[in-house]
Amino acid sequence: MAETAITESSLKDALTERLKATYVEVADMSGGCGQSFTSLIVSAEFAGKNSLKRHRLVNSALKDEIAQIHAWSAKCQTPDEYEKEMATTGGNDGPPLDGTDEGKVDGVDQ
């Protein structure tokens, strides 16, 4: 299986295309153990879906990519939810960093 390089921008392009995302932010959270990314994905396709279904949609859209990297984290919002959160937090919406050590996945490959 040929593995093309996965970057913030390749993931962003894939999400924009495959999920018709209107806004995507992908951040590299690679620590010492390989490629890791976290993301904020805004798409109208999430409307009417619960959190689990949204994540399943993303996992399925990025099946091959996620299989090649070490860690993947996502926050899935509809355009309305995104706007509301931007408004209530003063523009402070972004990819989740829970479980990371200051935005990096800390660990060893095992």
Partner 1 sequence: MFSRSILSKQFARQAAAAATPAKAGIMFRPAVFALSQQQRRLLSDQTRQAITKAVASAPVVLFMKGTPETPQCGFSRASIQILGLQGVDPAKFAAFNVLEDQDLRQGIKEFSDWPTIPQLYVDKEFIGGCDIIVSMHQNGELAKLLDEKKVLATETDAAAGEKKE
Query: Backbone phi, then psi, for 39, in 5-degree steps?
Result: -145, 155
**Does residue 75 sit in helix, strand or coil?**
strand
Binders of partner 1 among 56-85, rule CB under 8 A? 56, 59, 63, 66-75
Binding piece for partner 1, criterion CB under 8 A, among 7-15, 19-27, 79-87, 91-99: 91-99
User: In which residue are the tokens 């959190």 written?
Assistant: 51
Least Å distance, CB 21 to partner 1, is 16
Rounded CA gap, 68 and 3, in Å? 8
Rounded CA gap, 76 and 12, in Å? 13
Which residue's CB is nearer to partner 1, number 36 or number 78? Answer: 36
Binders of partner 1 among 10-39, rule CB under 8 A? 33-34, 36
Q: Which residues pair with 32 in a beta bridge?
A: none
Least Å distance, CB 4 to partner 1, is 14
Binding piece for partner 1, criterion CB under 8 A, among 14-22, 40-48, 86-94, 101-109: 101-109
Least Å distance, CB 110 to partner 1, is 6
Closest CA to 59 of 43, 70, 46, 73: 73
